[in-house]
A and B are shown apart, each in its own frame.
Chain A
Amino acid sequence: MPRIVVDVMPKPEILDPQGKAIAGALPRIGLTGFTAVRQGKRFELTVDGDVTDEVLEQARHAATTLLSNPVIEDVTRVEVLEEDAQ
């Protein structure tokens, strides 16, 4: 069954304590090639049947109303998972 993937990231201007803690840990284990880390969330919505425009619209609605908090988070991706689409 096809899945729609939704990515949610903290808004760029919002403090991301999780990302900050990880960014601090990387150099301590010897990985110095990165300047910043931001930690987001990924959701996979399994679709019952085909991914119609209507279903995709529902997913977008879910993404902005339930899966993310628009005060502090952005929905950065709502799309059908490629591996399922084939």
Chain B
Amino acid sequence: MTAETTSRKFNIDTVAHAEATPDQALPWAELGLKENEYRRVEEILGRRPTGAELAMYSVMWSEHCSYKSSKVHLRQFGEKVTDAMKEHLLVGIGENAGVVDIGDGWAVTFKVESHNHPSFVEPYQGAATGVGGIVRDIISMGARPVAVMDPLRFGAIDHPDTARLVHGIVAGIGGYGNSLGLPNIGGEVVFDSVYQGNPLVNALAVGVLRHEDIRLANASGAGNRVVLFGARTGGDGIGGASVLASESFDSTKPSKRPAVQVGDPFAEKVLIECCLELFKASVVEGIQDLGAAGISCATSELASNGDGGMHVELTNVLLRDPSLTPGEILMSESQERMMAVVTPENVAAFEAIMDKWAVEYSWLGEVTDTGRLIIEWAGEKIVDVDPRTVAHEGPVYERPYHRPTWLDGVQADAFTTSSAGVERPADLREAVLELMASPNMCAKDWVTDQYDRYVQGNTALAMPDDAGVVRVDEETGLGVAISTDANGRYSYLDPYEGARLALAEAYRNVATSGAAPLAVTDCLNFGSPEDPEVMWQFAETVRGLADACQELGVPVTGGNVSLYNQTGGVAIHPTPVVGVLGVFDDVARRTPSGWREDGQAVYLLGTTADELDGSEWANLRGHLGGRPPALDLTAEKTLAAILVNCSRDGMIDAAHDLSEGGLAAGLSEMALRFDVGARIGLDELCERDGIDAFTALFSESQARAVVSVPRSEEVRFNDMCTARNFPTMRIGVVDTENRALDVQGYFTLPLDVLREAHEGTLPKHFS
């Protein structure tokens, strides 16, 4: 297959034409540019832009691509990284995804991204292409993707529109991810009416590679060839850009362009294998996936990250829709496409691999050292720009922000003294059942059973355990654990603390599975940055996350910002989704979240205070006020070290972190995991911490975990906790005889009853 050259010719807006017609009006406002931004483009070029140039600048300077509102804050992730934190970092922020050294010559790349708005418009395709996009980021680093996970947030479970979104989004994630052969090993499903018109669909992917196989997206070596391969280019994702019809002076306007991108997972699976074969055969110099802003982004980023120049003939792009104008081709977000740089001597080898996998490709042009990105249309110059001005030197805004005036009132409204919380439930058994059946705490099997968790044969832990764990090296058992977490209610109450709490929970989850936490990715979901109160939430979140990363010694390696998640004037809760990656020397040592052996001691690590503000229990009572739980990152570090050491030395057989839903949720989930009961006593705990039984069960105090310890290990376990000065208490014993959660003196809950409540909720709403 070779490139088709087209004889079709628009009456196009060339550079020469732009110079000759300085006063011609262009639809910059319709394309989303502000007047000052458009003037800046004119200033950079020293003339008015051509239609094609305008298309490139408008998409690349959009919030989504340029991070123009968030950049000034995101810098902290780089500034607050210490040398010690960089120790394992092979590739940091700024590339398609960060790469972390996990030892033995192996590296892991991982990243979380949002696909929120497309998933609201067309749930199936929006969620599917979200998976596709993040997986291509991973491939473009030279890695084989090995797992995905999807943190999801929906509106109220009983809202009429929620079922449409849940069905479409879950099926889309499964339909795409399952077809790629990627195990889905975790994620979250949260329901809250604040996400009603703005569901959050975040997608995380993990890839594995050898150190020497890392590929960066840059175009170096003048004379090297530039090739576009994968799916053909159609009008996907440029619905709003049909104003560009004005760039063609045809009387017939192009047909309406679809705003929706349709995914083709089969094409992507072939692209994965094909790219891995390209890497193995060492026939590509640099590679870039095409996501947002398509060819505009790929050409300008490849060129500005390399020798600085590129020359492209745009009519060589293979099209699905021949009516596309040059500007539309540059903006198209058609899926399953990649761009690569190939030396002339490797062209034949490259083409052989494309032919083997029946992947279409077309040679677009070559790398130059002129410092200019030149794009021609049938030999006529339609783009002549410095690629850095497109890719990296977009506008940067210091948006005004201020602390919301309402926040003091909200923070003063503590749950315990509120009308919703002043009276504690008399029947703790019913309270536990209500909690475990609630939309956020109920079993998510209805969702996760639609995902393949087995493919590739390396999944060592998946839902519902605390973290997803995959083996990387079959010989040694070397592997990684990943967990994502966020609590929008905590962030609403205090965005600085909320971000730190999200990191702490993901960090704790990874350690609970037995892995040593190593690196962080984040997806920051917020309302409009033009609202100073939202902007304050964002600024506080970044500051909190960067500070907490520094304190815990885990660097942010990459991520994504999603703004404008709001309907009318009402924004979502600030929702920083934080993913933490940890490493195992041998995944055989991972710790499951449920106990199994009769007679093992059940220990609670950490202390419990009356911390119910923002909790799941308060949420069930319709209350949101006060301050989120206090966070002590030194205690979190000690707890993590204990959990990792216990796993390594075989001192514990089960561990579960305590977070949303507190001890009640922790004990219930541990019992249900393998259908094994336990006898628990709360009196000693209540006495030590000065709390009542309700608080013991439902408070969401941090830096806590429950573990089960074999009798033979109890002395060693206690010695280790004492040596580290970490509070621990034996609160019960595993009981295989009696299939119940028996909280002595308060209630006995048969596991069948608990399971029915826990597992019935999602099927009731969605089956």
Q: How far is the CA of A71 from the CA of B120 in the complex (A)?
A: 12
Binds B, one of A6-14, A45-53, A55-63, A78-86: A6-14
CB-based contact B266/A21 at 8 Å? yes
- Assembled-state Cα–Cα distance A24/B321 (Å): 18
Establish whether residues A14 and B264, one from each chain, have CB atoms under 8 Å apart when the complex forms: no
Query: Does chain A have a CB within 8 A of B650?
Result: no
Q: Contact partner of A15 among B122, B234, B255, B256, CB < 8 A? A: B234
| Given A24-B358, A72-B122, A72-B262: A17 in contact with B267 (beta carbons within 8 A) | yes
Q: When the two chains form their complex, are residues A71 and B236 in contact, meaning their CB atoms are under 8 A apart?
A: no
What's the nearest-Cβ distance from chain B to residue A37, in Å? Answer: 13
Q: Which residue of B lies closest to A28 (CB)?
A: B358
Residues of A1-54 contacting chain B, CB below 8 A:
10-17, 20-21, 24
Q: Is B487 close to A, CB under 8 A? A: no
Task: Provide the residues of chain B in CB contact with A14, threshold 8 Å.
Answer: 234, 236, 258, 260, 262
Contact B256 A17 (CB under 8 A): no
Residues of chain B with a CB closer than 8 A to A15's CB: 231, 234, 236, 261-262, 264, 320, 334-335
Q: How far is the CB of B257 from chain A (nearest CB, A)?
A: 7
A64 located at the interface, meaning its Cβ lies under 8 Å from any Cβ of chain B in the complex: no
B1 CB to closest chain A CB, in angstroms?
A: 11
B45 within 8 A of A: no
| B235 close to A (CB within 8 Å) | yes
Residues B258 and A13 in contact, CB atoms below 8 Å apart: yes
A67 to chain B, nearest CB (A): 15
B308-326 vs A, CB cutoff 8 Å, 1 = contact: the mask equals: 0000000000001100000
A69 within 8 A of B: yes
| A17, A20, A24, A69: most-surrounded residue (chain B CB, <10 A) | A17
Residue B125 interfacial (CB < 8 Å): yes
In the bound complex, CA of A32 to CA of B320 (Å): 19
Q: A residues within 8 A CB of B125?
A: 72
With both beta carbons as reference points, the residue of chain A lying nearest to B259 in the complex is identified as A71
Residues of A contacting B: mostly: loop
B3 within 8 A of A: no
Contact of B266 with A17 in the complex, beta carbons under 8 Å: yes
Asked if B121 CB lies within 8 Å of chain A CBs, one says yes
Residue of A13, A24, A69, A71 with most partner-chain B CB within 10 A: A13
- Distance in angstroms from A35 CB to nearest chain B CB is 12
Binary A-proximity of B241-271 (CB < 8 A = 1, otherwise 0): 0000000000000011110111111110000
Residues of chain A within 8 A of B335, CB atoms compared? 15
Selected contact of B258 from candidates A21, A24, A72, CB within 8 Å: A72
Complex Cα distance, B265 from A15, in Å, reads: 12
Contact A13 B260 (CB under 8 A): no
B320-353 interface (Cβ within 8 A of A): 320-321, 334-335
Q: Which residue of A lies closest to B126 (CB)?
A: A71
Q: How distant is the Cα of A20 from the Cα of B234 in the complex, in angstroms?
A: 13
List of B residues within 8 angstroms of A21 by Cβ: 266
Residues of A within 8 A of B320 (CB): 15
Task: Count CB-based A-B contacts (< 8 Å).
Answer: 45
Number of interface residues of A (CB under 8 A): 14
Chain A residues contacting B260 (CB-CB under 8 Å) are: 14, 71-72
* CA A20 to CA B256, docked complex, whole Å: 21
Across the interface, do A13 and B321 meet the contact criterion of CB distance under 8 Å? yes
Measured in the bound complex, the distance between the Cα atoms of B234 and A13 in whole Å is 7
- Name which of B236, B262, B266 has the most chain A CB atoms within 10 A of its CB: B262
Q: Which residue of A lies closest to B236 (CB)?
A: A15
> Which chain A residues border B122 with CB–CB below 8 Å?
69, 71-72
- B257 in contact with A20 (CB, 8 Å): no
Are the C-beta atoms of B121 and A12 separated by less than 8 Å? no
Tell me whether A71 and B121 are in contact in the complex, defined as CB-CB below 8 angstroms, given that A12-B255, A15-B264, A17-B267 are known contacts: yes
Q: Which of chain B's residues has its CB closest to A15's CB?
A: B262
A72 to B118, CA, bound (A): 13
CA distance A69 to B260 in the complex (A): 12
Q: Bound complex: CA of A41 vs CA of B627, how far in Å?
A: 54
Chain A residues with CB below 8 A from B236, complex form = 14-15
Cα distance, A13 to B668, chains bound together (Å): 51
Q: Which residues of B contact A71 (CB under 8 A)?
A: 121-122, 258, 260
The residues of B that contact A24 with a CB separation of less than 8 Å are 358
A12 to B125 CA separation, bound complex (whole angstroms): 17
Interface residues of B in 286-327 (CB under 8 A from A): 320-321
CB <8 Å contact, B358 and A13: no
A79 to chain B: closest CB distance in Å?
Answer: 25
Q: Which residues of B contact A20 (CB under 8 A)?
A: 264, 267
Residue of A nearest to B235 (CB): A13
Contact, CB under 8 Å: A13 / B255:
yes
Closest chain-B Cβ to A41's Cβ sits at a distance in Å of 15
**Which residues of A sit under 8 angstroms from B255, Cβ to Cβ?**
12-13
A13 and B264 in contact, given A69-B122, A71-B121, A72-B125 (Cβ under 8 angstroms): no
Q: 1/0 per residue B432-474: CB within 8 Å of A?
A: 0000000000000000000000000000000000000000000
Closest CB-CB distance, A54 to chain B, in whole Å?
Answer: 27
**Of all chain A residues, which has the CB nearest B257?**
A13
28 CB < 8 A contacts A-B = A10-B262, A11-B258, A12-B255, A13-B234, A13-B235, A13-B256, A13-B257, A13-B258, A13-B321, A14-B234, A14-B258, A14-B262, A15-B261, A15-B320, A15-B334, A16-B262, A17-B262, A17-B263, A17-B264, A17-B265, A17-B266, A17-B267, A20-B267, A71-B121, A71-B258, A72-B125, A72-B260, A72-B262
A12-B255, A71-B121 are known contacts; what are 10 more A-B pairs with Cβ within 8 Å?
A: A11-B258, A13-B256, A14-B258, A17-B266, A20-B267, A21-B266, A24-B358, A71-B122, A71-B260, A72-B260
Binding site for B on A (CB under 8 A): 10-17, 20-21, 24, 69, 71-72
- What are the nearest 6 A-B pairs in CB distance? A17-B264, A15-B262, A71-B122, A13-B235, A13-B258, A71-B260
